[in-house]
């Protein structure tokens, strides 16, 4: 019986540790939302705008979904909101007219120029508070955690490098 309690305690600890990831993301989201306050866009909108801006060409909605680690339906709703705000527009893909790409309008390009420095400053503030050693450990731990989640049965996630490579370059 003691081994069962020991295992339960160990399993509970693992669960609590993984729930800290959600708590940490909630905290990071609040930091970014605060940084964006007054910009007129939400964090998901800002991330979508910067992803489209960082791409070599207007993104297929499926490509945007991959970069944002979102479901296609969520990205369609996000694209609708960006289009209604005049920040992006849908364009038919030239090789495949059935495919739709999202491209920034001039207002969207100006909005990216406004929000990207806000997001970068917020990220820098958090990373400076962490220090170099913890920041490096965090990057390694998050990459390992993502890889472990990709290995979970029936969970389909893109390789992390596909979703963030442009963000790192932007």
| Tens digits of residue pLDDT in 23-55 | 999 999 999 999 999 999 999 999 999 999 999
C-alpha 75/C-alpha 36 separation (Å) is 20
Whether residue 86 contacts residue 107, with contact meaning beta carbons closer than 8 Å, is answered with yes
Q: Three-state SS for 93? A: coil
- Asked whether the predicted pLDDT for residue 2 surpasses 70, the reply is no
* Dihedral over Cα of 43, 44, 45, 51: its sign: positive
Give 156's pLDDT tier (boundaries 50, 70, 90).
confident
Ordered domains of the chain (ranges, CATH): 30-169 (1.10.10.10)
pTM of the model: 0.82
């Amino acid at each position: 019986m003691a081994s069962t309690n020991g295992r339960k305690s160990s399993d509970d600890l693992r669960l609590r540790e993984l729930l800290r990831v959600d708590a940490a993301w909630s905290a990071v989201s609040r930091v970014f939302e605060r940084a964006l306050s007054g910009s007129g866009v939400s964090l998901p909108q800002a991330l979508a705008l910067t992803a489209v801006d960082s791409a070599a060409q207007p993104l297929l909605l499926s490509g945007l979904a991959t970069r944002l680690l979102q479901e296609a339906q969520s990205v369609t709703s996000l694209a609708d909101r960006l289009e209604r705000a005049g920040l992006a527009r849908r364009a038919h893909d030239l090789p495949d007219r059935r495919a739709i790409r999202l491209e920034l309008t001039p207002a969207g390009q100006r909005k990216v120029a406004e929000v990207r420095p806000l997001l970068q400053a917020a990220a820098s503030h958090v990373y400076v508070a962490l220090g170099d050693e913890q920041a490096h450990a965090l990057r390694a731990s998050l990459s390992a955690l993502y890889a472990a989640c990709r290995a979970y049965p029936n969970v389909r996630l893109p390789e992390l490098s596909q979703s963030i490579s442009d963000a790192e370059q932007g």
